[in-house]
Amino acid sequence: MIRSAKFYLRTSFNFFVLRFHSVLFRLKGLLSGYYIGPGLVLYARGNIDIGASVVIHSRASISVVENATLRIGAHSRIGSDAVISCASQVTLGDEVLVAARCYIADYSHEYRNPNLAVLRQGRSVPEPVFIGSGTWLGINVCVLPGVTLGKNCVVAAGSVVTKSFPDHSVIGGVPARLLKSLAPDTGNEAR
């Protein structure tokens, strides 16, 4: 009985600390020129660098462990219920559009020991994630460790991105594959 009371108190305290950090983070955002919607769940032991005019919509979840760095470029938008989990480095360029319920992480859970619960095996070795400026992640997209997306990419809704793609790629599927490449505007066309 005493053990469960200690667990309850520790869990309640941790919840209070997370909520308090979230409120401070939202206040800092107001003072720094970015907006954080209500219900943010924030676990931030590492560095978070957010550019000007960033909007993080309601109920997003951001986790940055100690010695890790999350960078969100200026004018980016993070949709509601999105999850960004960082154990090493996650970078979103400027004007990145992340739709609702997207998942971006630079690590996964270890699962190689069949005799041990996944929960007890810890996390995998982190691999940095980079999402280039101007890229759009459709609703429910999952970006896995080690992925680099170039500038101005489009990722179809529900895709699971397991490998890197160059600038101007349109990708989709599970796992995501190249659907087509968009030629960049050379500026020579008459308008």
**What are the pLDDT digits (tens) for 97-115?**
999 999 999 999 999 999 9
Task: Label residue 139 by pLDDT band (50, 70, 90).
Answer: very high
Q: CA 110, CA 85: separation in Å to the nearest integer?
A: 15
CATH code of 20's domain: 2.160.10.10
Q: Does residue 188 sit within a domain?
A: no
Rounded-to-integer distance, Cα 116 and Cα 146, Å: 26
76 versus 10: which is more confidently predicted?
A: 76
Give 38's pLDDT tier (boundaries 50, 70, 90): confident
Asked whether residue 99 is assigned to any structural domain, the reply reads: yes
Amino acid in position 98: V
Phi, psi torsion values for 10, nearest 5 degrees:
-65, -45
On whether residue 191 sits in a domain, the answer given is: no
Number of domains in the chain: 1
Residue 190 lies in a domain: no
Question: Is 75 designated active site?
Answer: no
Helices (H), the chain: 2-32
Question: Which one is catalytic: 21, 57, 75, 109?
Answer: 109
Question: What is the spatial distance between Cα 50 and Cα 46, in angstroms, rounded to a whole number?
Answer: 13
Express each pLDDT in 68-101 by its tens digit.
999 999 999 999 999 999 999 999 999 999 999 9
Domain that holds residue 168: 2-181
Residue 10 has pLDDT above 70, yes or no: no
- The answer to whether residue 159 is domain-embedded is yes
Selection from 4-8, 29-33, 181-185 with the highest mean pLDDT: 181-185
Has residue 84 been placed in a domain?
Answer: yes
**Does the pLDDT value for residue 185 go beyond 60?**
yes
